[in-house]
Amino acid sequence: MSLQDLSRIRTLRDLDVAGRRVFVRVDFNVPLQDGQVADDTRIRATLPTLAYLAERGARIVVASHLGRPKGKADPRYSLAPVVDHLRRLTSQPVAFIGDCVGPAVERASQALAPGGILVLENLRFYPGEEKDDPEFAAQLARLGEVYVNDAFGAAHRAHASVHAVVDFFPACGIGLLMEREVQVLSRLVQAPESPFVAVLGGAKISDKLPVVRNLLGRVQALLIGGAMSYTFLKAQGHDIGASLYEPDQVEAVADLMAQARQRGVALHLPVDHVLARRPDDPTETRTVRTGEAFGDWCGVDIGPETARRYAVEIATARTVFWNGPMGVYEVPAFAEGTRSIARAVAANPHFTVVGGGDSLAVLQQEGLLDRVTHASTGGGASLEFLAGLELPGLVALLRKAS
């Protein structure tokens, strides 16, 4: 999908919404704790779209999934707590209905006043959602005259409310969040200003290999951290002790490092490590250099020298993309490496993009979320977009635009 192709998709500004029922697919798949929203980043990200529609007199039907209820109603995954939270964030009247299709839901959507919001119950309470069932999609389409997809985080799923439903609406487009995500991520893969530095962490390199391969021709430096770095170090023959790594990816990683050398991309790996007996136990730790014996200890964070070097690399960049923690950041004693990356990215005054729930959570904890150019709510969708893969949600809208 080229930026030129994507520019053919209609945006909110292209749609006539006054007085019409607008079915808005959002991504309210947020973490809950004790019946409360624990992180409202994704909810807040959709507020501009909802406000835009309300100001123009649209009658707004909001749909989302939450968790993995496996195609049946499960109170643990009800959107009711999310609706309570949304009411605190908007001045618009917000109603909630305990279903997402059927005559009662259709009547409720018809009864909406201009500017009113009706939030549907979890789409995944029906198996037709994840099966991309046209029949289920047709039922959803009876709830509106205009379709708006503002759920970039679900755009990589060929699910009914993202993909099949588009065929049943005469007017379709993307919301302000989706538009911003596409513009920013397109800039990373099509016109990044150099030096472009990508910082990648997390547990599995297998999740990010397609992204790394696609970025190799665009970045000047790759900074690798987290458990995924131990697959790289294993491929180089280093002792990694009991550190988590992916044995089946060692060959692929060795090939990736060879490609980076051929392209002149600087691929940086940790030069020191914080080790622990167990990844959940901070009572006994030590710091070692790469090449030293790990014994039966495991790596839980990048060391201070690595953090310093990575910060220097980030400071020199004109474009930065960061996805994934540098260690077991959930344990405060093992979070300093990830926090140092968050501070370095936030201090860079140029074009900075951060994706992935873990990275965003650390930025938020550090009070730095508003210091980056763009905080992507896309998760897996962002990675697939950067890998050059087609996203079903965008493909459906492109098909509609042609």
- Residues that are catalytic: 42, 204, 357, 380
Q: Write the CA distances from 65 to 25, 28, 55, 124, 162, integer angstroms.
A: 9, 7, 26, 6, 11
Give the Cα-Cα-Cα angle 384, 363, 344 (nearest 5 degrees): 95
161's tokens: 């409310």
Q: Can you spell out the DSSP letters for 275-308?
A: EEEETTEEEEEEEEETTS--TT-EEEEE-HHHHH
Amino acid at 53: L
Using alpha carbons, select from 192, 233, 197 the residue that is nearest to residue 322: 197
281's tokens: 């136990």
Give the Cα-Cα-Cα angle 384, 381, 202 (nearest 5 degrees): 80
Q: Write the CA distances from 373 to 5, 70, 176, 271, integer angstroms.
A: 24, 36, 16, 29
Q: Can you spell out the DSSP letters for 316-383?
A: T-SEEEEES-SS-TTSGGG-HHHHHHHHHHHH--SEEEEESHHHHHHHHHTT-GGGSSEEE--THHHH
